[in-house]
Structure 1
Amino acid sequence: MDSAYQYNYGGCLRLDCDGMTEEYLLVDDCLTIKEEGQVLWQSPGDWRIDNFVLGDVNNDGTVDLVITLWKTGSFGSVKPFWLTSEDASCKNHLFVYRLKDKEMRQVWCSSDLDSPIVSFKIQDIDKDELFELVVEEGQYRKIAGERYELDPFSRVRTTVWRWDEWGFRLVPKEEDPHY
């Protein structure tokens, strides 16, 4: 899906609220963020971005860029001590970024996800003035070697995730108004 997107969040015309409008371009699975024609950030060429949303996903009062992407490997340059080599599978990930001083900075990046994300939104579902991440999850389909894709025929389920200081935690069914 190719799209151009400009976003106005709560009176803030930018992720960094400097009053200049950002332009978000998702073309051929590559996300580019521009300001006044200048490229501020572009996703790496080995990522395949399939969706993004702007919102305060971690409830710290700052707008974040939340993206879903497909990439090889699970940990990047920082691996848990028990791993001796990088994971070679290509799977789905969720990354959270923030724009500060004209530079995109990682806030949080997932390892490969157990279930790939079909779609997601940031919403206050329980009216407590804190945002949750509402996710539609599918299933993987192996296509070749260690490469996976979203199985278009798999059953989709909705889950709700809440930021919990270090990362996201699944909201139990009894607390989730979607059940």
Structure 2
Amino acid sequence: GLALRIFVDQEGLRAVQALSVETGPRPRLASLQAGAELLARVSPPPRRIGYVCEAQDCRSITVPWEERSGIFWAGQIDLTGDGVLETVRRTAQVVSIYQDGELVWRSPPEWKVLDLALGDPNDDGRAELMLALDKPGPNGKPTSHPFILGYRGGTYRVLWGGSAVSDPLLEVELGDLDGDAVQELIVLEKPQGGAAQTVSVWRWHGWGFSRLWRNPKGSYRDLILLSGEKGELSRISVAVQEEIE
């Protein structure tokens, strides 16, 4: 069962804590595993909110709950343009590319790749990787960067390395949100000066990205895209645990 521990002082109620207990003549605290299982049954799952976008704006919509991670772990895409899919893996913040089962590229050790997306972020008709990574800045402290990695001239290389961003990147997705056959960059980022996160949509303008839209601050995780059906546009979906003013 559950017990409530209530903290009260001269000013009134200060805090309430829920504790999982094993019932009986002499109740006792449950083990961590038993407590976690009980809380999972009685605690509501975080909800998801969604957005559908047009040329310059996005509006909120209702989307179904999906227990899906927003972080990339593995996928396949034709990076070399030869019609054969390469395998891309992200393990322990390191990205590896395999061709015919053989390792052909690995991210530098100073990079910490938090997430990536497969697609065509710079709208050049070629498949690339959109990376959200941390790397040491001039003072040695980690800075957050968006990088585009592709295959050109027989080698894998950074095609575009964005400068350090003020709002660190947490998760990224690529998808055509407005039906114009051009992929937008969707980012879960952490604005400076607080614990909140925001979701933003960006568009490639030829030498970088311009922000089109950003949602209100909140506590978000697991950014995903839901494919449109029967002519519908793709939708943004993100898990939200609480609103933050």
Q: Do both proteins adopt the same fold according to a TM-score greater than 0.5, normalized to the shorter chain?
A: yes
5+ residue gaps in structure 2? 1-68, 215-234, 237-245
Q: C-alpha separation between the residues in 1 aligned to 2:213 and 2:83?
A: 39
5+ residue gaps in structure 1? 9-13, 74-85, 142-150
How far the C-alpha of 1:19 sits from its partner, in A, is 2.8
1:27 partnered with 2:79: no
How far the C-alpha of 1:27 sits from its partner, in A, is 1.5
Q: C-alpha separation between the residues in 1 aligned to 2:72 and 2:173?
A: 17
Alpha carbons 2:133, 2:169 under 8 Å: kept: no
SS at match of 2:76: coil
Q: C-alpha separation between the residues in 1 aligned to 2:172 and 2:196?
A: 16
Alpha carbons 2:132, 2:170 under 8 Å: kept: no
Over the matched positions of the two proteins, sequence identity in percent amounts to 27
Match of 1:120 among 172, 190, 205: 172
Q: Structure 1 residues 101, 17: CA separation in 2 closer, same or farther (over 3 Å shift)?
A: same
Alpha carbons 2:149, 2:160 under 8 Å: kept: yes
| 2:19 paired residue number | none
How far the C-alpha of 1:108 sits from its partner, in A, is 0.8
SS at match of 1:6: strand
Alpha carbons 1:40, 1:103 under 8 Å: kept: no
Match of 2:135 among 52, 59, 71: 71
Q: Which amino acid aligns with 1:136?
A: L
1:46 partnered with 2:110: yes
Match of 2:156 among 104, 114, 117: 104
| 1:60 paired residue number | 124
Q: C-alpha separation between the residues in 1 aligned to 2:154 and 2:75?
A: 17
| 2:206 paired residue number | 165
| 1:83 paired residue number | none
Alpha carbons 1:135, 1:158 under 8 Å: kept: yes
Q: C-alpha separation between the residues in 1 aligned to 2:192 and 2:107?
A: 23
Q: C-alpha separation between the residues in 1 aligned to 2:199 and 2:136?
A: 25
Q: Structure 1 residues 102, 40: CA separation in 2 closer, same or farther (over 3 Å shift)?
A: farther
| 1:80 paired residue number | none
Let me know the Cα RMSD of the aligned residues. Answer: 2.6
TM-score, normalised to structure 2, is: 0.54
How far the C-alpha of 1:87 sits from its partner, in A, is 4.0
1:6 partnered with 2:75: yes
**After TM superposition, what 4+ stretches of structure 1 lie above 3 angstroms from structure 2?**
1-4
Q: C-alpha separation between the residues in 2 aligned to 1:166 and 1:42?
A: 25
